[in-house]
Structure 1
């Protein structure tokens, strides 16, 4: 089973039939209008994406899918409704996190691995290449800034600024949002134990492990000193990106298109 720490896509032969059929009432008008001769639409290349619209990682993957022009069936996993903690989803990803993508017999549940997988497996004249060729200057730049931005604790920024809006400038966060997330975090450990261990004993250990990690994360996100530290680090990263933009602006001055890392762009 694929987990965020497992770089090898796993077989999903156990996957329920519902994932391989259209949802009840789902319109197929778009499929009917698509060119059946398009090689990207071959059944063996069919993608199924489990995501949540407000998930930052899900948004990254959806952007890659759109940039590459890949047909993909999207299935919402509602975080507010705690669907990511349901047994059916935990069988996809024990980390209880979105996005998760299914392609052929593979399940990939880490967004960076998903991006690399799609870049490697979906190629051709009609498919956009998003990552420059290895060994090039642009490739090293892409890797450098990808690693830099991926290292940012996005969940801590989000939760921390909701829990402590006083740390933000001109905060538009309503008070009820702060109260709601505090209530949710207070009940999180109980919600993690809703699984019937007798029916799903193989999921008991992952739940307990998730609970410990969640509680440790909550303590960090509610720590003002920690939040001040990471917000300061974020400011330095943004300064670095702004400086890079200025460099590229000068380097490619006068050209029709100057991308963030060079003229390579989609």
Structure 2
């Protein structure tokens, strides 16, 4: 809940060691002199997580300095660890800790940041303009981008995603046995993953989801024919949130749908979004070192298991053939 405090969890206990302090573009100029390091919010995030990118974009646009702690939502599944489950009962990123409050919903986080920190306002005060901004924020918030990501993957990437999903579900069963006090939140997470697994196996529904992207992009294209930014004449929270969505769509195979020959208004808008300093600061891809760090151990373990099984089968078949011949 917005503004809720996790029972029994103080800010000191919520902050894990190893966090970084990130200086965003223009933050030094816009931050008040009396804003100390202790007052900086702490963001628990992952570099390529769509909601994490959205929050980082808003922090950058507002010029807010923050502490960052990476939560590996890859095969290590650090987001399932008991310390994080107590911090964020949904076990997703991002989580923002600010002035003793724990915020876990991305829309509530960015709204809180816009309302409580200095910097250019991203939500207009005019009721009609505000409603327009919040409309586009809600549209992207309710679109099942996670399921779409699963629908667009192929080959080994798809297999690895499904394998990771099975690993999470198995790990949750073990965590429930070891942490009976967290049984309810772990069981809720397991039910969510079970529903996700059933959904992504429904090929017709997944294709319909892909088709819905074009319908939504057509609506945005028509809207941008009348204005420079998504919700009006100036950059707002709607543009910030959709920046990360467009980046994700481009990454998972919708680059042609965003191109100038298909949708010129979206292409021009997307180009303006990429020109902003917040893009370079907050829309991140994994470096080779990060990919190795986050995914290397799991990939190595997986291929080691396959290698062992392969030779067990080969040796077993060899023994069987030799036995039959003898």
Decide: shared fold, TM above 0.5: yes
Question: Pairwise CA RMSD of aligned residues?
Answer: 2.8
Aligned match of 1:259: 229
Please give the alpha-carbon distance, in whole angstroms, between the structure 1 residues aligned to 2:16 and 2:34: 19
Higher deviation after alignment, 42-51 or 59-68: 42-51
- Is 1:53 equivalent to 2:47 in the alignment? yes
Q: TM-score, normalised by structure 2?
A: 0.64
Give 1:129 shift.
0.6
Higher deviation after alignment, 8-17 or 140-149: 8-17
Contact 1:152 1:234 in 2 (8 A): no
Give 1:105 shift.
1.0
Give 1:104 shift.
0.9
Unaligned runs of 5+ in 2: 237-326
Unaligned runs of 5+ in 1: 1-5, 166-174, 249-257
- Is 1:87 equivalent to 2:82 in the alignment? yes
Aligned match of 2:61: 67
Give 1:109 shift.
0.5
Q: Which has the larger radius of gyration?
A: 2
Higher helix share: 2
Please give the alpha-carbon distance, in whole angstroms, between the structure 2 residues aligned to 1:97 and 1:21: 16
Aligned CA distance change for structure 1 residues 76 and 9 (closer, same or farther; 3 Å): same
Give 1:106 shift.
0.4
- Is 1:129 equivalent to 2:121 in the alignment? yes
CA displacement 1:20-71 (0-9 Å, x = unmatched): 58638x68999xx968x83472356320000011111111000000000000
Contact 2:87 2:102 in 1 (8 A): yes
**Counterpart secondary structure, 1:49:** strand
Aligned match of 1:112: 107
Aligned match of 1:234: 213
Aligned match of 2:283: none
Give 1:158 shift.
0.3
Aligned match of 1:172: none
CA displacement 1:53-103 (0-9 Å, x = unmatched): 111111100000000000001110001110000001001111010100001
Aligned CA distance change for structure 1 residues 212 and 18 (closer, same or farther; 3 Å): closer
Q: Could you say which structure has the greater relative contact order, defined with CA pairs below 8 angstroms and 6 or more residues apart?
A: 2
Aligned match of 1:244: 223
Aligned CA distance change for structure 1 residues 19 and 243 (closer, same or farther; 3 Å): same
Give 1:134 shift.
3.9
- Is 1:78 equivalent to 2:99 in the alignment? no
Give 1:110 shift.
0.6
Contact 1:12 1:106 in 2 (8 A): no
Give 1:194 shift.
2.8
- Is 1:146 equivalent to 2:137 in the alignment? yes
- Is 1:193 equivalent to 2:185 in the alignment? no
Give 1:201 shift.
2.1
Aligned match of 1:41: 35
Aligned match of 1:3: none
Q: 1:132-211 counterparts in 2 under 5 A?
A: 132-135=124-127, 137-162=128-153, 165=154, 175-195=155-175, 197-198=177-178, 200-211=179-190
Higher deviation after alignment, 93-102 or 140-149: 140-149
Q: TM-score, normalised by structure 1?
A: 0.78
Aligned match of 1:169: none
Give 1:148 shift.
1.5
